[in-house]
């Protein structure tokens, strides 16, 4: 019994040694099982050196208690006299609760550590096969497997072997285990074993000789008939092959059960064959010829990426070797496949969407900056450059990374940092899994678990704080280098600043750019050289920016355009002090610029005419739309300062160009999303924002042109009061980037002014406005269209208010009343504009609604328009304006409801289509589901039109036919690369549903 004074000193010593519960530790030390060593200071120091001294002591007591009376003294004497064994045994007990359980169940297995200590062996495949050789049933195999695993873990936790050697030995043990399991399965079914040849191909980490402690072991099974003539001496046929495959399938299935099933001794690990052709839907075993037929015709790029690690490990060695020899050329030809670039882009945009949000920050494997980022980057570079460099043909991540650095495909510094980060993250993963031998990649949250994990990695002062700091630092390095790895060597190749560095050859650089989606690698390299070469501060900053910028460009549908546009902007602004500083210091500005420059022609064209607008991308408020009042005030002030109407409208058009860029940039960024700000989920909100912004900007520009035209001829006061009424999309606040401004002009002579003089003045103002807004300049023109006026093109361009009243009273047709549904004053005399609206309200919202004749006329006009106005050769299922379920269908349906019911439903008295549709639903005129269908179709068609203008730089009502333009439209709409077929199918499906609603509501079908 320990005396009180000694107990107190022991308590303090235990606390100092790292025990978290000294009282419990003291009681364990007092147990009879440790009677001969409880006071030995060597033991206490050794326990304190483990990852978890409390866990190590508990495991030691359990192990000692499980020994026989004869064996216990041997264990304890060896423990205090043999330091290597003591460190290994206590190291395992302090790091792995699962292996402590195993030793408690199998107390003699600690002798396995003595074996390797005595010979200082690093066991390999032969030793592991010997260790498993006596296992003749699944339970015995599990026990033998854990015994071998004990030897690996002991040397791992003591630092005798590094993380790469640990992973290699685990892969060797897995190989030996697969062979033993196949031996057991064959012994259980000798007829099947005799009827076939079966080769087991390891994939994934096992195939790459870099296995975890607990991981699925990925395999592919290859089967064939036995070598030699078939039974009976007949020539073999398909029936023999089929029987052999069936026998091999039974053996393979038995092998998988032996390894995967849970018994009293636990599970070894699951054997996963889902990387086989067709995955879980394909046959478990195929012949070699069947494998080759699949890979040559159907395999996707990711399957060749997976085959990088293929290694024959068990079964028939000749068949396994034939398989590897046959698939190896296919792997290294994958980069030449027609769809390789699209597949690579999909893989590069691998996201962590499938990880629960609560786990993303704790995911070592799949999270940002995780192990998969390193492995993916290395494998992709191997596929790109391995076709011409056999030195890259390694399935082991760290070996491949070393080869990439030696060949100049990765910068040596980058490779060294990535190597260190990968080793640290793998070591974390190993120690997390070792604790309970469970398959997990999540960093624990419990303080005690973090403390044990940190101490197991040698972090002893503040284990938890040091662990978190080191982990975040290495993850940050991985994330940064994952973005940079593909591009830094390209810059080194063109800038040639570091003497003695191995560099990418022009051919290798071109291969890499081509694989990343650049269609013209030679031009891309010239742009990189122009941007990054030299020793100037500008070139130095560009070399910092370009690795990340190039990645963003590569994520777009047209990387070449993004890089070219970036060079143009940089050439224009490169000497401006704030430009590069903005991109370097404001992360959002650089990514926003990359997205805008690679999204199409419109936004870059607007930016090139005034590159200083790039500053908007770095301002948190820079992408917010400005109010109509603020825009009009700025435009009118600019016109007022100008010396001539031409200069005034040039200033107004300059404002319009800048604001169009602001709107387009915000639209692109919100649609595509960025790393810090995901794409906006509500497409309707995007459409409304663009419609409001472009409509307000158009109104302000027209107001400026009106001010300039009036000042040039009459000073501040026109002889007639003059108002401009927006109609169509303009009046509905639904203008797109390519829309004209549909308007009506109305005037009213001032008191004492002759009507002819007033009319002439109004016509002069209109002509001057149109001239000024279409003058050839660097800014986009603004076209004013008055064809919706009474009598159309045959009628006078401008009328007095009384003339409008007389016309509408006597001659107005139903379609003209319908056109007035979206009429709204946009510029000029506000009071006159209000009186015009007062005049037309009874026409567009007729009391008691429309009569049957008027409804028939509207339907007849719509049907005629569908048959006559759709362009020849246009696909009616894809035409956004006049096609099935497109804008015209939805708008005419909504407008018919407005004309029928707005007299009694005030909510319908709006110029905006979506507002009117929502009001119709609120009034019970249309069910919620049908309103949603129409709204979705209208929003989608509007977004397609906007996308076409953004991508092509010119308006269009249907999807582009050129592949890159079509892909860019898809990216704007939220579709991943390579899914344009899905986009078109979705468009047809959504608009088909809308047309069915239109047939019901509009035509009464």
Q: Give the residue with greater pLDDT, 482 vs 658.
A: 658
Burial of 941: CB neighbours in 10 Å, binned 0-12, 13-18, 19+: buried
Is the model's pLDDT at 236 over the cut of 80? no
CA distance 121 to 160: 10
User: CA–CA separation, 1005 vs 770, rounded Å?
Assistant: 44
User: Which residue from 149, 150, 96, 152 is spatially nearest to 435, judged by alpha carbons?
Assistant: 96
DSSP-derived secondary structure letter, 363: B
Query: Which 3 state secondary structure label does DSSP give 388?
Result: coil
pLDDT beyond 90 at 244: yes
Q: What average pLDDT does range 231-250 have in this prediction?
A: 75
Q: What share of the chain is helix, strand, coil (3-state, %, to 5)?
A: 65, 5, 30
pLDDT tens, position by position, 265-304: 888 999 999 999 999 999 999 999 999 999 999 998 889 9
Banded pLDDT at 438 (limits 50, 70, 90): very high
pLDDT digits (tens, 9 = 90+) for 105-134: 999 999 988 765 544 456 889 999 999 999
What pLDDT was estimated at residue 232? 44
- Say what the pLDDT of residue 581 is: 86
DSSP string, 423-473: HHHHHHHHHHHHHHT----BPP-SHHHHHHHHHHTT--SSHHHHHHHHHHH
| Number of Cβ atoms within 10 Å of the Cβ of 506 | 13
Q: How many other C-beta atoms can be found within 10 angstroms of the C-beta atom of residue 464?
A: 17
Q: Which helix (H) or strand (E) holds 866?
A: helix 852-868
Q: What is the DSSP letter of 226?
A: P
Rg (CA), the chain: 38
Contact 187, 258 (CB under 8 A): no
Q: How many CA atoms lie less than 13 Å away from 781 in the CB half-sphere?
A: 14
Report the alpha-carbon distance of residue 137 to residue 719 in Å, rounded. Answer: 106
DSSP letter for each residue of 567-596 = HHHHHHHTTSHHHHHHHHH-HHHHHHHHHH
Percent residues over pLDDT 90 in the chain: 66
According to the model, what pLDDT value does residue 717 have? 86
pLDDT tens for 521-546 read 999 999 999 998 887 888 888 888 88
Q: How far is CA 410 from CA 499, 501, 511, 512, in A?
A: 15, 10, 14, 12
In the predicted structure, residue 323 carries a pLDDT above the cut 50:
yes
Distance of CA 422 to the CA centre of its chain: 22
Q: What is the pLDDT of residue 588?
A: 85
CA–CA dist 211, 976 (Å, integer)? 33
Q: Residue 497: pLDDT band by 50, 70, 90 thresholds?
A: low
- pLDDT band, residue 883 (cuts 50/70/90): very high
What confidence tens digit (pLDDT) does each residue in 572-619 have? 887 787 888 888 887 688 989 999 999 999 999 999 888 888 999 988
pLDDT of 311 > 80? The answer is yes
pLDDT in the model for residue 734: 96
Residues 376, 339: Cα–Cα separation, whole Å: 18
Name the pairing type of β-strands 311-315 and 197-202.
Answer: antiparallel
Task: Return the pLDDT at 771.
Answer: 93
Contacting residues for 81 by C-beta, under 8 A, at least 6 apart: none
Does residue 310 have a pLDDT over 90? yes
Please tell me which residue, 232 or 492, carries the higher pLDDT value.
Answer: 492
The residue-averaged pLDDT of 557-584 equals: 89
Q: Name the strand (E) or helix (H) holding 948.
A: helix 928-952
| 468 has pLDDT over 80 | yes
CA count, 13 A, side-chain hemisphere, 951: 27
Residue 887 sits at the vertex; the CA angle it makes with 882 and 890, to the nearest 5 degrees, is 115
pLDDT at position 40 is 83
| Contact (CB, 8 A) for 476 and 544 | no
Average pLDDT, the chain: 90
pLDDT at 534: 82
The model's confidence at residue 677, banded by pLDDT at 50, 70 and 90, is low
Alpha helices in 82-162 (DSSP H): 83-95, 97-105, 111-119, 125-132, 138-157
* 255/485 Cα distance (integer angstroms): 40
pLDDT at 500: 60
Cα dist. 722→193, 748, 758 in Å? Answer: 97, 7, 10
pLDDT of residue 66: 95
Per-residue pLDDT of 683-699, as tens digits, reads 999 999 999 999 999 99
Instruction: Report the pLDDT value the prediction gives residue 235, as an integer from 0 to 100.
Output: 40
Phi/psi at 271 (5° precision): -95, 120
Residue 447 has pLDDT above 80, yes or no: yes
What does 786-831 look like in DSSP terms, one character per residue?
-TTSTTGGGS-SEEEHHHHHHHHHHT--HHHHHHGGG-EEEEE-HH
- pLDDT (mean) for 735-741: 92
CA 882 to chain centre: 35
Is the separation of the CB atoms in 154 and 91 below 8 Å?
yes
| Residue 720 bridge partners (DSSP) | 749
Torsion of CA 627, 629, 632, 634, to 10 degrees: -80
Residues 6+ apart with CB under 8 A from 276: 220, 221, 282, 283, 284, 286
Q: Name the helix (H) or strand (E) containing 746.
A: strand 741-749
Q: How far is CA 167 from the centre of its chain?
A: 30
Query: What pLDDT score was predicted for residue 118?
Result: 46
Higher pLDDT, 356 or 821: 821
Average pLDDT over residues 754-769: 94
Instruction: Please name the helix (run of DSSP H) or strand (run of DSSP E) that holds residue 316, with its range, or none.
Output: none
Q: Contact 338/365 with Cβ under 8 angstroms?
A: no
Q: What does the CA dihedral 176, 180, 183, 189 come to, rounded to 10 degrees?
A: -130
- pLDDT value of position 680: 72
Is the pLDDT score of 3 beyond 60?
A: no
pLDDT at 556 over 90: no
Smallest CA-to-CA distance from 308 within 411, 403, 187 is with 403
The pTM of this model reads: 0.77
Return the pLDDT at 348: 58
pLDDT of residue 662: 95
pLDDT at 566: 94
Query: Among candidates 180, 134, 186, 143, which has minimal Cα distance to 313?
Result: 180
């Amino acid at each position: 019994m320990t005396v009180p004074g000694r107990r107190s000193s022991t308590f303090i010593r235990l606390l100092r040694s790292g025990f978290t519960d000294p009282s419990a530790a003291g009681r364990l030390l007092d147990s009879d099982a440790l009677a001969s060593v409880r006071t030995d200071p060597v033991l206490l120091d050794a326990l304190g050196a483990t990852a978890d001294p409390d866990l190590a002591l508990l495991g030691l007591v359990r192990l000692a208690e499980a020994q026989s009376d004869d064996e216990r003294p041997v264990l304890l004497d060896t423990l205090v006299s043999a330091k290597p064994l003591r460190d290994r045994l206590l190291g395992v007990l302090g790091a792995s609760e699962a292996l402590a359980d195993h030793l408690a169940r199998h107390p003699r297995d600690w002798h396995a550590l003595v074996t390797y200590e005595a010979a200082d062996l690093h066991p390999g495949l032969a030793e592991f096969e010997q260790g498993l050789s006596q296992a003749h049933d699944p339970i015995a195999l599990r026990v033998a497997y854990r015994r071998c695993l004990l030897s690996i873990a002991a040397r791992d936790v003591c630092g005798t072997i590094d993380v790469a050697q640990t992973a290699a030995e685990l892969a060797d043990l897995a190989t030996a285990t697969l062979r033993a399991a196949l031996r057991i399965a064959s012994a259980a079914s000798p007829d099947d074993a005799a009827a076939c040849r079966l080769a087991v191909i390891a994939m994934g980490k096992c195939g790459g000789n870099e296995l975890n402690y607990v991981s699925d072991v990925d395999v592919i099974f290859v089967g064939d008939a036995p070598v030699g003539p078939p039974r009976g001496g007949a020539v073999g046929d398909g029936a023999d092959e089929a029987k052999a495959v069936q026998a091999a399938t039974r053996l393979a299935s038995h092998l998988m059960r032996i390894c995967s099933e849970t018994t009293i001794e636990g599970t070894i690990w699951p054997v996963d064959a889902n990387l086989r052709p067709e995955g879980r839907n394909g046959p478990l075993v195929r012949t070699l010829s069947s494998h080759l037929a699949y890979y040559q015709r159907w395999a996707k790029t990711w399957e060749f990426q997976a085959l990088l690690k293929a290694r024959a490990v068990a079964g028939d060695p000749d068949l396994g070797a034939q398989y590897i020899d046959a698939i190896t050329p296919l792997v290294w030809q994958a980069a030449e496949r027609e769809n390789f670039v699209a597949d690579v882009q999909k893989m590069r945009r691998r996201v962590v969407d499938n990880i629960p949000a609560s786990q993303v920050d704790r995911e070592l494997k799949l999270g940002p900056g995780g192990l998969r980022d390193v492995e993916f980057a290395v494998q992709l570079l191997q596929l790109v450059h391995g076709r011409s460099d056999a030195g890259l043909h390694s399935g082991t991540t760290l070996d491949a990374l070393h080869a990439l650095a030696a060949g100049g495909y990765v910068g040596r510094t980058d490779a060294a940092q990535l190597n260190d980060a990968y080793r640290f993250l793998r070591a974390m993963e190993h120690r997390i899994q070792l604790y309970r031998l469970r398959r997990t990649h999540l960093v624990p949250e419990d303080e005690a678990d973090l403390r044990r994990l940190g101490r197991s990695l040698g972090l002893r002062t503040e284990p938890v704080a040091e662990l978190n700091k080191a982990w975040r630092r290495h993850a940050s390095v991985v994330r940064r280098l994952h973005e940079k790895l593909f591009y830094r060597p390209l810059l080194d190749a063109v800038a040639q600043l570091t003497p003695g560095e191995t560099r990418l050859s022009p051919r290798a650089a071109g291969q890499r750019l081509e694989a990343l989606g650049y269609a013209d690698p030679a031009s891309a390299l010239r742009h990189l050289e122009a941007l990054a070469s030299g020793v100037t501060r500008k070139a130095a900053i560009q070399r910092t920016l370009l690795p990340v910028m190039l990645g963003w460009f590569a994520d777009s549908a047209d990387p070449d355009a993004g890089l070219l546009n970036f060079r143009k902007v940089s050439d224009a602004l490169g000497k401006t002090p704030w430009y590069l500083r903005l991109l370097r210091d404001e992360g959002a500005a650089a990514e926003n610029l990359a997205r805008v420059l690679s999204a199409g022609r419109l936004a870059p064209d607007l930016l090139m005419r005034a590159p200083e607008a790039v500053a908007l991308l770095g301002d948190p408020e820079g992408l917010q739309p400005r109010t109509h009042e603020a825009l009009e005030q700025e435009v009118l002030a600019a016109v007022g300062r100008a010396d001539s109407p031409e200069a005034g409208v040039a200033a107004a058009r300059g404002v319009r160009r800048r604001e169009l860029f602001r709107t387009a940039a915000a639209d692109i960024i919100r649609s595509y999303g960025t790393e810090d700000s995901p794409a906006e989920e509500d497409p309707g909100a995007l459409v409304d924002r663009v419609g409001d912004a472009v409509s307000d900007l158009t109104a302000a520009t027209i107001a400026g042109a009106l001010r300039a035209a009036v000042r040039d001829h009459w000073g501040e006061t026109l002889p007639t009061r003059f108002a401009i009424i927006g109609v169509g999309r303009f009046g509905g606040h639904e203008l797109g980037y390519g829309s004209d401004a549909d308007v009506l002009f109305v005037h009213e002579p001032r008191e004492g002014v002759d009507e002819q003089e007033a009319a002439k003045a109004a016509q002069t103002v209109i002509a001057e406005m149109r001239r000024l807004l279409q003058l050839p300049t660097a800014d986009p023109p603004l076209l004013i269209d008055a064809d919706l006026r009474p009598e159309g093109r045959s009628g006078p361009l401008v009328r007095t208010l009384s003339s409008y009243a007389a016309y509408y009273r006597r001659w107005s047709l139903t379609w003209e009343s319908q056109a007035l549904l979206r009429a709204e004053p946009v510029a000029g005399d506000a009071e006159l504009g209000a009186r015009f609206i007062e005049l037309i309200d009874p026409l567009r919202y007729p009391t008691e609604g429309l009569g049957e004749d008027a409804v028939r006329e509207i339907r007849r006009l719509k049907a005629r328009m569908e048959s006559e106005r759709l362009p020849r050769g246009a696909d009616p299922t894809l035409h956004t304006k006049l096609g099935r379920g497109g804008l015209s269908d939805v708008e005419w349906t909504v407008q018919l409801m407005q004309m029928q019911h707005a007299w009694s439903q005030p909510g319908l008295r709006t110029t905006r289509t979506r507002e009117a549709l929502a009001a119709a639903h609120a009034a019970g005129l249309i069910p919620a589901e049908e309103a949603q269908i129409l709204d979705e179709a209208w929003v989608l068609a509007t977004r397609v039109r906007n996308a076409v203008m953004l991508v092509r730089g010119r308006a269009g009502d249907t999807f582009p036919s050129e592949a890159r333009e079509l892909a860019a439209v898809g990216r704007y709409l939220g579709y991943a690369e390579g899914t344009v077929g899905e986009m078109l199918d979705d468009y047809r499906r959504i608009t088909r549903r809308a047309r069915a609603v239109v047939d019901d509501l509009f035509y009464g079908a």
